[in-house]
Structure 1
Amino acid sequence: MHPTLLNNVNVAALDVLLTPDDIKRRLPMTDTAAATVLTGRDTVQRILDHQDHRVFVVVGPCSIHDLKAAREYAQRLRELANEVGDTLVLIMRVYFEKPRTTVGWKGLINDPHLDDSFNVAEGLQIARALLLEIAEMGLPTGTEALDPLCPQYLDDLLAWTAIGARTTESQTHREMASGLSTPVGFKNATNGNLDVAINALQSAARPHSFLGINQHGQSAVIRTTGNRYGHVVLRGGTEGPNYDTVTIALCEQELIKNKLPLNLVVDCSHANARKDPALQPLVLNDCVHQILEGNRSIVGFMIESNLEWGNQPIPADRSQLKYGVSVTDACVDWTTTAKMLREARAKLKDVLPGRFAS
């Protein structure tokens, strides 16, 4: 029997990619960028160990689609990070991969030209170049790990990683997280279920062996040591938000029961804001007040933010894209973002230093 009747029956093409080594030679790490990444990772780890009293905030566009707008946002955020850095550690949200419920644009790596041309080789290089540029500004970055091969191309430039609500339950992503070089936030499931995130923390903290690729692009068995800096990200669910004091207390109980560190990050967007960006400031303010009233488990926040408010569909004529406006989830604008972060800093700056003193 002819092999074509058995192999790759539904595959139209197999396009060979540059290896991680190839792309890293084209876009090599610099000393300045490396210092930013190492400092960012160490800071988040110290926050998770309750050795740094500050809270970290992963803030930025829902997804990156316009490099000029991303650079402008990074420059603004870097300036604000200096201003609020005694209280808030700002990490730019730089999301290149977008999980889709059904179909839709899958992100800059998958489709950098937003036209279904799917030039993944170019997308990987664009993504690495942008991360390198932002790191050289002195601003740490965070992203969502979706495709299990992408970390080999990008992981050295990231300070924090999320595993999304649709993939927290995935064995593949738990294994991948166990080997990532960054702290990893696991989101609760889209229905709000917390158990999948708790289970993911336990799984990712342990060693795993699984199939992947090495820096030369060769198939390899990756053997990990486990990642002890996993933590829960509360993003709400179909049954409603989960950042309220009761839900936070119940989540703390689950962490204690499973002998896991009391570390929670609250996603101010998604179901916690009912996908309405106008509610994000209210979510942040509520959680800040929980900290003021004695909460010790909330160590970070996520905010979907862009230069301009809202979102837009991707038009057939790409020249009609509005500058600084999200093409995925709706975001708060820069003015609102700066106000949110300055107000949070003002309320927390005198309280956080003594938070873990006892």
Structure 2
Amino acid sequence: MSMTINKELPNPAALKAQFPLPEDIRRIKAQRDAEIAKVFRGESDKFLVIVGPCSADNEDAVCEYTQRLARVNEQVQDKLILIPRIYTNKPRTTGEGYKGMLHQPDPDKAPDLLGGIIAIRKMHMRAIRETGLTCADEMLYPENRSYLDDLLSYEAIGARSVENQQHRLTASGMDIPAGMKNPTSGDLAVMMNSIKAAQSAHNFIYRGCDVTTTGNPLAHAILRGGVDKYGTNIPNYHYEDLTRLSALYEKSGLQNPACIVDANHSNSGKQFKEQIRIVSEVLHSRAHNDGVHRLVKGVMIESYLIEGAQKISDCMVHGQSITDPCLGWADTERLLLTIADRI
């Protein structure tokens, strides 16, 4: 094979033993997991906001961001559940470009996967310790989630991964909500099939073991828009899209019908400021229709300390995205307070 083994990486159990989870963080996660699960089971009317940078590229900037979120959380926690986005893997359409902190703990240095695995575990632990907020990440590589599975309260399966069998089967073994995005084509049938797979029990190979899962009843839809064969964005956050998804759920027999609306990506055409308007429209749709209100459990927003995006260089701006452009903090804080006022 045209493949070189650079080094053998520690298994997740060894890494967890090296960087163990303190008991106070275990208690925080258990409490947060239970609170979030109640929303997806329809036992809580709180609204989820999964918010943070497109890609978590710098520990200090990410933790400064989560500290600011924690201060806002004190004002809105009776209505909202804020889940920081700490996305440590970055999918690349062509395979080129920055692939996230897992690959490069320092974006302007060579890839270092062992250093990356350690860096992302330490960053997630620090964020919880400093804020009391457990976070979300994307399951880009199913076998790598075991390095973080004792820390996360939410995981998303991306538009390019949702049709992959290993992603679906792995999601079926999670004990936290798994958000299944519609694929880049916008095909809702594919997304619904992925939710069904994730909610079902399976037997398969995982990390060299024969495993059986019981199914994940908290697997649900994420609407992120699509792109047609001509490259035109097709949003799917409008009222008609939400009622259509509600009807699909009614026919499906799936457990805990739920949807998170991703306000960026193909819903905004990556026009990051549009996220403010899109969230407002989603809230209006929820207020207009009881079925949509029950279905839409939250929104996903890309946001960082400084708005926009930058290239990787020798003079980086602290807290500005190096991947997709994001809302800045001032807009984010106003938006969170507005959401809380309208829920």
> Would the TM-score normalized by the shorter structure come out above 0.5?
yes
Say how many residue pairs are matched. 332
- The aligned residue for residue 303 of structure 1 is 301
2:124 to 116, 131, 139: 131
Q: Distance in 1 between matches of 2:324 and 2:268?
A: 12
2:54 to 39, 58, 62: 62
Secondary structure of the corresponding residue to residue 150 of structure 1: helix
Do 1:312 and 1:328's aligned partners in 2 also have CA atoms closer than 8 Å? yes
Secondary structure of the corresponding residue to residue 114 of structure 1: coil
Q: What is the TM-score of this pair, normalised by structure 2? A: 0.94
Q: Distance in 1 between matches of 2:251 and 2:109?
A: 47
Q: Distance in 1 between matches of 2:328 and 2:308?
A: 8
- The aligned residue for residue 182 of structure 1 is 176
What letter matches 1:210 in structure 2?
F
- The aligned residue for residue 88 of structure 1 is 80
Deviation at 1:241, TM superposition (A): 0.8
- The aligned residue for residue 291 of structure 1 is 286
Q: Distance in 2 between matches of 1:132 and 1:170?
A: 29
Q: What is the TM-score of this pair, normalised by structure 1? A: 0.90
Q: Distance in 2 between matches of 1:123 and 1:210?
A: 27
Q: Distance in 2 between matches of 1:277 and 1:138?
A: 28
Q: Distance in 1 between matches of 2:27 and 2:288?
A: 36
- The aligned residue for residue 112 of structure 2 is 119
Do 1:90 and 1:140's aligned partners in 2 also have CA atoms closer than 8 Å? no
Which stretch shifts more, 10-19 or 65-74? 10-19
Do 2:223 and 2:259's aligned partners in 1 also have CA atoms closer than 8 Å? yes
Do 1:97 and 1:144's aligned partners in 2 also have CA atoms closer than 8 Å? yes
Which stretch shifts more, 233-242 or 12-21? 12-21
What letter matches 1:47 in structure 2?
V
| Residues 1:207 and 2:205 aligned together | no
Which stretch shifts more, 173-182 or 9-18? 9-18
Secondary structure of the corresponding residue to residue 108 of structure 1: coil
Deviation at 1:259, TM superposition (A): 1.4
Deviation at 1:133, TM superposition (A): 1.2
Do 1:163 and 1:187's aligned partners in 2 also have CA atoms closer than 8 Å? yes
- The aligned residue for residue 191 of structure 2 is 197
Which stretch shifts more, 281-290 or 112-121? 112-121
What letter matches 2:114 in structure 1?
A
Q: Distance in 2 between matches of 1:32 and 1:338?
A: 28
- The aligned residue for residue 234 of structure 1 is 223
| Residues 1:77 and 2:69 aligned together | yes
What letter matches 2:39 in structure 1?
I
Deviation at 1:116, TM superposition (A): 5.8
Secondary structure of the corresponding residue to residue 226 of structure 1: coil
| Residues 1:248 and 2:246 aligned together | no
Aligned-pair identity (%): 33
2:164 to 163, 170, 176: 170
Secondary structure of the corresponding residue to residue 337 of structure 1: helix
Q: Distance in 2 between matches of 1:332 and 1:226?
A: 36
- The aligned residue for residue 329 of structure 2 is 334
Kindly report which structure 2 residues correspond to 1:5-44, keeping only aligned pairs within 5 A, or say none: 9-44=1-36
Do 1:212 and 1:222's aligned partners in 2 also have CA atoms closer than 8 Å? yes
What letter matches 2:8 in structure 1?
V
Tell me the C-alpha RMSD between the 2 structures: 1.2
Q: Distance in 1 between matches of 2:246 and 2:181?
A: 15
Deviation at 1:328, TM superposition (A): 0.7
- The aligned residue for residue 259 of structure 2 is 264
Unaligned runs of 5+ in 1: 1-8, 214-218, 349-358
What letter matches 1:196 in structure 2?
V
* Bigger Rg, structure 1 or 2: 1
